A and B are shown apart, each in its own frame.
Chain A
């Protein structure tokens, strides 16, 4: 159907299989910036989504890109460390990354190297901890020990 615009570039990415669209590519953190720039130059001009998924021992950064007007989509995944997560910021590639990376920092504690203003965006500035991490300690008792939790009613 469409010609493969990515293969000719010879980028350091590996393809991931999935029963669902879109296409998934995995890249190492060292190559993330060059791959992102190359993808943008090829026409992936529209950043759809930028998020992280915490797998306890590591984290996956997920970048969802789209070529407009062709409509071709791509999920670019990058595996980073779990306890000390940091990755290069893509603010220089797609402007939308600014706030989206701040949200990932806020919720996961991922440090984005080179981000112009990496500070919390949703939680108050003094908040301690990163809630969307799987090891986040909730203050009021977790869902798991809900039966032992005394509501005082």
Chain B
């Protein structure tokens, strides 16, 4: 009897626990080997760029939180930075320190969330709960200062909305050593774990040349050997004063991206501590005109979000609404590398590769 083989088309998503949101991958497999993958997105497209033209700059403030909702403070920083850049507004020092502080807390939160869900993707169940326990503490800290756990609406044009109380500063200080200990526990569970190494080493490799040509940014780019972090190489806010290291590895595979994200958490905790030490008294928002009408022109402002280079290209026509608000979404651009990374690997690696990109559909689809 002859055994016939044929290619099978497998649909993953849009509702699937491992696609990290409403995302659909149509995978062609030959046996267990992936021969092609076609990603479909847009299930979470909510028209944020058109909305930018339909709201004035102040009305638009609650929206950026909803792009990458797992590291929302960076989104706000990018949007507000673009408007302030066009208007030439100088943000007071205390506000700048608070902004960096909450962005780094957001980075820790995002990377810890990634850790928990990634381990779940490759088969480990327990670290998910540990990660969420710590992430809960971060959300409570951010809730204390901004009023919300996830969609903060904390940044204002010219500063921030609420000041940090001494109690909040004490809470953050108490949190830091605890978090350091916990991250070391997370690393202890995975970094030398045989199963994790087998699932992630040598898989999903992306060369530095590919990364550059694809516009990849963030931990994926640094895992492929390129030392490029906007906080160091295109600095903004108070980052030039802060002492931190940008982790870079050269393997370019899934394991390297894990190592980089864990190291970035350690570095972010260092940055948070320095921010607390640098904190000085002062106003939390600058003197800003009553109606926000930036002069006509275009401006690009980018921050290093947990996912990569999150930029806002803002075109103003001098009116109260943006003429064109373009969001440069790091997750969408990084996601373009999916096909290159996945083809040739086994079906079980599809989920691991997708997870290593760290996509958030709110940002992919906008």
Contact = CB atoms under 8 A, between A and B. Distances in A.
A38 interface: no
B215 A132 contact: no
A107 interface: yes
Contacts of B215: 46-48, 94, 96
B76 interface: no
B315 A53 contact: yes
Contacts of B297: 18-20
Given A99-B332, A121-B42, A49 B228 contact: no
B23 interface: no
A122 B366 CA distance: 9
A114 interface: no
A131 B324 CA distance: 12
Interface in A92-117: 94-96, 98-100, 107
A46 B212 contact: yes
B169 interface: no
Interface residues of B, number: 38
B85 A94 contact: no
Interface string A122-153: 11100000011000000000010000000000
Given A51-B313, A143-B54, A68 B365 contact: no
Interface in A38-58: 45-49, 51, 53-54
B234 A71 contact: yes
Contact of A49 (B50, B226, B311): B311
A95 B206 CA distance: 14
A48 B85 contact: no
B42 A68 contact: no
B281 interface: no
A62 interface: yes
A12 interface: no
Contacts of B309: 48
Contacts of A95: 210, 213-214, 336
Interface in A50-74: 51, 53-54, 62, 64, 68-69, 71
B47 interface: yes
B328 interface: yes
B233 interface: yes
Interface in B29-61: 41-42, 45, 47, 49-50, 54
A69 to B, nearest CB: 7
A96 B333 contact: yes
A96 B213 contact: yes
Nearest to A124: B42
Q: Is the interface of A mostly helix, strand, loop or mixed?
A: loop
A70 to B, nearest CB: 10
Given A18-B297, A49-B328, A94-B215, A107 B49 contact: yes
A99 B42 contact: no
Contacts of B365: 122
B175 interface: no
Nearest to A144: B54
Given A19-B297, A46-B215, A94-B215, A53 B332 contact: no
A30 to B, nearest CB: 24
Contacts of A20: 85-86, 297-299
Contacts of A122: 41-42, 45, 365-366
B47 A131 contact: yes
Interface in B321-338: 323-324, 326, 328, 332-333, 335-336
A96 B326 contact: no
Contacts of B186: none
A120 B41 CA distance: 10
Given A19-B297, A48-B215, A49-B326, A96 B49 contact: no
A64 B365 CA distance: 20
B334 to A, nearest CB: 10
A116 to B, nearest CB: 12
B300 interface: yes
A68 B323 contact: no
Report the 10 A-B pairs with minimum CB-CB distance, sorted nearest first: A96-B215, A122-B42, A122-B45, A51-B326, A95-B213, A49-B328, A53-B324, A47-B215, A96-B214, A143-B54
11 contacts: A18-B298, A19-B297, A20-B299, A53-B298, A64-B300, A69-B233, A94-B213, A95-B214, A96-B213, A122-B42, A132-B49
Given A48-B309, A68-B212, 5 more contacts: A49-B311, A51-B326, A64-B328, A122-B365, A132-B324
Interface of A: 18-20, 22, 45-49, 51, 53-54, 62, 64, 68-69, 71, 75, 94-96, 98-100, 107, 120-124, 131-132, 143
